[in-house]
Chains A and B, each alone.
Chain A
Amino acid sequence: METTAIEWIVIVLAASVKMGTPILFGTLGGVISERAGVINLGMEGLMLIGALTSFVVKLYTGSTILAVSAGAFAAGAATSLHALVCISMRASQIASGLALTMFGTGVSGLLGDSLTGKTITPLMDIKIPLLSSIPVIGKIFFIQDALVYLSYISVATIWYLLFYTRVGLNIRSIGEAPAVCDSIGLSVLKYRYAAVIIGGMIVGVGGAYFSIVLTPFWVDNLTAGRGWIAVALVIFAFWHPGKAMFGAYLFGAALSLQLRLQLIDINISPYFLAMFPFILTIVALTIATIRNNKKRIAVMPASLGEAFFRGEKH
């Protein structure tokens, strides 16, 4: 059973991708929503709703595609409440997001109560022909389950959409200066609704990853706080899908290293390892912020968290 150092690293990194994937979906959802100017603190709740719905659908239909779609739609439906409250009714996005988390945690616990002890078959890994034979990289990224591949596609799609299309430009502009966009005839409301609800659906897929892949059963509070890591990662990733991918895998790596270092007689306190990703992100954030300040770049969408009132004078 002796493994070489490189083999060990490959195993750890492959596990990091798996642990990072639900956080990645959550972060991507947050990026879309916040690029349009709406904060979503409800991710933990949305993930739980997504996780429970996908689990139930997979349990009764056996279909992964149906299960993941159902998880996404359920989370999307819950997010539309958030959208209604903070886009149309202009209530506090912070309060509404927190309420969404509490609602999701509560409702998933209540409805999932009768599912104790039921399990499903977890999703198996698929080897991508050619790509998986690339040394090192292939084993890390291309012997994974279908949802991991979906996350790669999502990152590329959202990246392209946000930065290389007209629609993306509109979303980002609305996040910066909704009044200006409104004056040139863009519907701020429509764009924001779309961004928030689609964002919520992607968060729901992250939730589905918990119950379909990582822990193929339902227990109360299955996500155990990962949604909050995604909330933080949206900021750490500077609202960028590529950096979100890197950040999510960094957290995934910290989670799996915490466990695996204990087995190779490297005596680092588990408490230190548990806080390690947070230290790393704070350092990364500090360096990046200093750099951006020097270049006078503001990365945070300027209207983030503010409700839009048509015709309001500043």
Chain B
Amino acid sequence: MKVFRLHLLLIVAIMLAFTGTTVFGKDVKDLKAAFVYVGPIGDGGWTYSHDLGRKHLEKMGVTTSYVETVPETDSIRVIRNFARENYDIIFTTSFGYMDTTLKVASEFPKTVFMHCSGFKTAENVGTYFGRIYQAKFLTGIVAGYMTKSNVIGVIGSHPIPEIIRHINAFTLGVRSVNPDAKVKVIWVNAWFDPSKEGAAADSLMDDGADIVSITTDSAAALKAAEKRGKYAIGNDSDMKPYAPSAHLTSAVWNWGVYYEHIAKQVAEGTWKTNKDWWGIKSGVADISSFGDMVPADIRDKVNKKKEEIIAGKSFVFQGPFNKQDGSSAVKEGEKLTDEQIWGIDYFVEGVAGSLPKKNN
């Protein structure tokens, strides 16, 4: 019985493999790509950055379409509609779309689905995310050099591994050039709540911070810093236009590079299910241009570090570094594996602030 089932699976898999190649040899210009966004394009951050990637495909001649502000509970309908309309690739750009993407993908085996920031895949579902923590590390170096009070504030969105990872990488960057500096964290428990983000920045500055970095979506904190003549670091997209006199740099996404890669693979028929985690080397994650106040020697040092990371000579989570309580996290000469980086659930030394305790 077991053997029979295995055969059946094989047959289905082969059938899928064949039906999946119907787009074989297409020109990129014949492709149709659809995007499902969790927020409005006007958020100036996460969704905005994905939409820049979509526009990049559009420039290559790909026909694209999108729906913005799709609630996770309603995503199955939106994704299925795109699949019915014979789109070749459907990009679903929020963690919460993971299961609905897989569900629809099982109904439309000919369509390629790409889900962002999740961990489940299938024959026709790939998953992707970017190592923006590398960019966070570099912005941390800028902050470490630029701080005078040695207190740097970070506005945390939600205390989940992704954000803990980003705060840790930022802190490691700060402390790599300024071991005396402290990074203070305030959680706002929201991705997007501009007036609360602004108030959080004010709280941090009242507490001595002279630089505020964000993991949230809006530029409110940058405006708050500008008002007081302090500095700030942006998130997701280049936030310089919002506060040119406060903006040191931003950790930014550049999804166009990756979307181009996937579109070409699908057109050529070489696409296979994948788990991509591209970093600063490919350009998917990067830092934006520096503010005018950042001196040339600091820019050079940051750029040099960037080259080292690209060349694989330097890693963000390489030892030795300690956990927040001073115990060793990674020893000299060792580094965290991708899996460990992905699931990091502790703060590194230098972060002042606590993680909400788990309720079990």
Interface of A with B (CB < 8 Å)? 1, 11, 15, 18-19, 22, 109, 112-113, 116-119, 122, 210, 214-217, 219-224, 226, 255-256, 259-260, 262-263, 267, 269-271, 274
Please report the C-alpha to C-alpha distance between residue A222 and residue B200 in the assembled complex, in whole angstroms: 16
Determine whether B276 belongs to the interface, using a CB cutoff of 8 Å to chain A: no
Known: A220-B40, A224-B195, A262-B354. 10 other contacts (CB 8 A): A22-B195, A113-B42, A215-B194, A215-B218, A219-B192, A220-B43, A224-B190, A263-B203, A270-B356, A271-B189
Please report the C-alpha to C-alpha distance between residue A262 and residue B196 in the assembled complex, in whole angstroms: 14
Q: Flag if B187 contacts A270 (CB, 8 Å).
A: yes
Shortest distance between the CB of A157 and any CB in chain B (Å): 25
- B191-210 interface code vs A (CB 8 A; 1 in, 0 out): 01111111110111011100
- B34-66 interface code vs A (CB 8 A; 1 in, 0 out): 000001111110001000000000000000000
Q: Flag if A259 contacts B242 (CB, 8 Å).
A: no
Q: Flag if B243 contacts A274 (CB, 8 Å).
A: no
Please report the C-alpha to C-alpha distance between residue A267 and residue B219 in the assembled complex, in whole angstroms: 28
Residues of A within 8 A of B44 (CB): 116-117, 219
Of the candidates B198, B207, B223, the one whose C-beta lies within 8 Å of that of A119 is B223
Of the candidates B196, B208, B243, B357, the one whose C-beta lies within 8 Å of that of A259 is B196
- B147-179 interface code vs A (CB 8 A; 1 in, 0 out): 001010000000000000000000000000000
Residues of A within 8 A of B219 (CB): 119, 217, 219
Residues of B within 8 A of A262 (CB): 185-187, 353-354
Shortest distance between the CB of A216 and any CB in chain B (Å): 5
- Nearest B residue (CB) for A16: B199
Q: Flag if B223 contacts A216 (CB, 8 Å).
A: yes
Please report the C-alpha to C-alpha distance between residue A226 and residue B204 in the assembled complex, in whole angstroms: 23
Q: Flag if A256 contacts B199 (CB, 8 Å).
A: yes
- Nearest B residue (CB) for A269: B356
Interface of B with A (CB < 8 Å)? 39-44, 48, 149, 151, 184-190, 192-200, 202-204, 206-208, 218-220, 223, 227, 241-243, 353-354, 356-357
Please report the C-alpha to C-alpha distance between residue A262 and residue B354 in the assembled complex, in whole angstroms: 8
Q: Flag if A214 contacts B42 (CB, 8 Å).
A: no
Please report the C-alpha to C-alpha distance between residue A200 and residue B210 in the assembled complex, in whole angstroms: 40
Q: Flag if A263 contacts B356 (CB, 8 Å).
A: no
Given A15-B202, A263-B207 in contact, is the A255-B353 Cβ separation under 8 Å? no
Given A219-B44, A220-B43, A267-B354 in contact, is the A255-B202 Cβ separation under 8 Å? no
Q: Flag if B203 contacts A259 (CB, 8 Å).
A: yes
Residues of B within 8 A of A112 (CB): 42
Please report the C-alpha to C-alpha distance between residue A274 and residue B220 in the assembled complex, in whole angstroms: 20
Given A117-B242, A119-B242, A270-B356 in contact, is the A263-B184 Cβ separation under 8 Å? yes
Please report the C-alpha to C-alpha distance between residue A126 and residue B304 in the assembled complex, in whole angstroms: 46
Shortest distance between the CB of B125 and any CB in chain A (Å): 30
Shortest distance between the CB of A119 and any CB in chain B (Å): 5
Q: Flag if B40 contacts A215 (CB, 8 Å).
A: no
Q: Flag if A19 contacts B199 (CB, 8 Å).
A: yes
- Nearest B residue (CB) for A121: B227
Of the candidates A217, A221, A222, A259, the one whose C-beta lies within 8 Å of that of B188 is A259
Q: Flag if A255 contacts B192 (CB, 8 Å).
A: no
Given A216-B223, A219-B43 in contact, is the A15-B203 Cβ separation under 8 Å? yes
Residues of B within 8 A of A270 (CB): 187, 189, 356
Residues of A within 8 A of B200 (CB): 259
Q: Flag if B220 contacts A260 (CB, 8 Å).
A: no
Q: Flag if A122 contacts B203 (CB, 8 Å).
A: no
- Nearest A residue (CB) for B220: A215
Please report the C-alpha to C-alpha distance between residue A54 and residue B146 in the assembled complex, in whole angstroms: 36
Q: Flag if B43 contacts A259 (CB, 8 Å).
A: no
Shortest distance between the CB of B311 and any CB in chain A (Å): 34
Residues of B within 8 A of A119 (CB): 219, 223, 241-243
> What 7 A-B pairs have minimum CB-CB distances, sorted nearest first?
A117-B241, A215-B194, A220-B40, A1-B208, A220-B42, A214-B195, A215-B220
Q: Flag if B48 contacts A116 (CB, 8 Å).
A: yes
Please report the C-alpha to C-alpha distance between residue A107 and residue B220 in the assembled complex, in whole angstroms: 22
Residues of A within 8 A of B186 (CB): 259, 262-263
Choose among A22, A122, A219, A220 the residue with the greatest number of B CB atoms under 10 Å from its CB: A219
Q: Flag if A221 contacts B40 (CB, 8 Å).
A: yes
Shortest distance between the CB of A214 and any CB in chain B (Å): 4
Please report the C-alpha to C-alpha distance between residue A11 and residue B192 in the assembled complex, in whole angstroms: 25
Q: Flag if A214 contacts B194 (CB, 8 Å).
A: yes
Q: Flag if A221 contacts B198 (CB, 8 Å).
A: no
Q: Flag if B199 contacts A122 (CB, 8 Å).
A: no
Please report the C-alpha to C-alpha distance between residue A100 and residue B353 in the assembled complex, in whole angstroms: 41
Please report the C-alpha to C-alpha distance between residue A194 and residue B45 in the assembled complex, in whole angstroms: 41
- Nearest B residue (CB) for A11: B206
